Amino acid sequence: ARTEAAELAEQVRPKIPSLVVRVPSGATVTVDGVTVPPDAVGLPRKLNPGAHEVSARMGEGPEDKKSVSLKEGESSEITLAPKGDAPAVPPPSGPAVVDTHAGAKVDPGPAAPKDAGGKSLHPLVWIGGGVAVAGIGFGTVAGIVTLSKKSTINDLCQGTRCAPSAESAVSSGRTWATLSTISFIVGGAGAAAAVVGLFLPTASKTKVTAALSRVDVGPRWLGVRGSF
């Protein structure tokens, strides 16, 4: 079947008429209402035998139309001369070019926008935020431990009398309560510092790293270690 189709196509090919449309450069050509691609203008165009309407236009100018009748196997050519100006071609974008001979500056188009760069937060935001997270986090843990110690004391004491082992729980509970209070104060100060940092000027393309390594706790003190 493919062989027969190929043989039939070869027999029909010489009978198909063709038309070449000559127009000024930049003109838009249509054949029977179908726009011809710019690269195909001026090349032979295969059409069915019979009458065809051909038109050409330059930009927004008036159309130049012609009717043509093609016979089997005929190769025809027509010329259209539409009036008007060709569509303007936008200039290429890029940096300005300087003519070294005349000393004139030629601007072929708008230059590509430059990278404005990212804007980072002030270091105080990261430092204050890290201290706030560490302080509030440890304060919460210390508060939970304090409540646990209080529960132990309640179990060891009846009224004003307490078992000897309750003394250790009382001392430990007071220490954890103090640490919890201090931690929340430090966390609140860190949060306040972070808020202040939001309103401070920052430098473009500045990378800031705030990494808290650990929180050190002693019997009467609380320390935060880290690199900023």
Give the per-residue pLDDT at 77: 93
Summarize pLDDT for 154-168 with one digit per residue, the tens. 777 776 777 777 777
Q: What is the pTM of this model?
A: 0.36
Q: Which amino acid is located at 102 in the chain?
A: A
Q: Which amino acid is located at 140 in the chain?
A: T
Give the per-residue pLDDT at 227: 52
The whole-angstrom separation of Cα 221 and Cα 98 is: 69
The whole-angstrom separation of Cα 176 and Cα 140 is: 11
Distance of CA 141 to the CA centre of its chain: 42
Give the per-residue pLDDT at 19: 92
CB–CB of 77/101 below 8 Å? no
Give the per-residue pLDDT at 115: 41
Give average pLDDT by consecutive 10-residue segment, the chain, 228 residues.
70 85 91 92 90 92 91 91 73 52 50 50 82 87 84 75 75 85 88 83 49 50 54
